[in-house]
């Protein structure tokens, strides 16, 4: 096997900035694993299924661990400034990379509303005099403003949000 021809770290001429530090990546990964939805949604499942739910969560976690290890191996072997859809693009074809990229975008577009709802539900339990839908609108508006402003501010908000859950 020959060494990859591309550098894993893009240079300044490509226009990408390294705005995330290791603490930001750590908080993003913790937020992805232990999000507010896990606390809201898993209570009824564990109550209904009992120990089987814990086994199902453990099996699902093992599968995710293996998938992330495989994705890490692909990232080391073929470093790229794109997301994981570029691996499907290279391995299967342009149609696969395009489809996976858009499906990933759609899943996050739908998940943003759900995360805002869960955060609104948690905030409503603290301050019940404000309805959930007001929290939902305020949080979605703030998330979009921060996304348009900078990555650094968005990650600070995510860290504060995940620590408050």
- Between the alpha carbon of residue 46 and those of residues 54, 56, 61, 83, the distances in Å are 7, 10, 16, 34
Tens-digit pLDDT string for the chain (165 aa)? 555 555 555 555 566 566 667 776 676 666 665 666 666 677 778 888 888 888 998 898 899 889 888 888 888 888 877 778 888 888 898 999 899 999 988 988 888 788 788 888 888 888 899 998 898 888 888 878 877 777 667 667 666 666 655
Q: Structural domain boundaries of the chain?
A: 21-164
pTM, two decimal places: 0.53
Task: Compute CA distances 13 → 9, 10, 17, whole Å.
Answer: 12, 8, 10
């Amino acid at each position: 096997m020959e060494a990859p021809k591309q550098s894993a770290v893009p240079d300044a001429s490509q226009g990408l900035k390294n705005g995330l530090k290791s603490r930001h990546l750590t908080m993003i990964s913790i937020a992805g694993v232990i999000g507010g939805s896990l606390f809201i949604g898993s209570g009824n499942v564990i109550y209904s299924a009992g120990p089987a739910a814990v086994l199902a969560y453990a099996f699902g976690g093992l599968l995710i661990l293996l998938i992330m290890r495989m994705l890490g191996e692909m990232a080391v072997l073929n470093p790229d400034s794109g997301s994981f859809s570029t691996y499907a693009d290279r391995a299967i074809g342009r149609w696969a990379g395009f489809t996976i990229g858009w499906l990933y975008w759609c899943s996050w577009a739908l998940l943003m509303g759900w995360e805002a709802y869960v955060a609104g539900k948690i905030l409503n339990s603290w301050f019940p005099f404000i309805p959930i839908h007001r929290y939902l609108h305020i949080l979605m508006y703030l998330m979009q403003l921060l996304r348009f402003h900078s990555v650094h501010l968005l990650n600070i908000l995510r860290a504060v949000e995940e620590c408050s859950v």
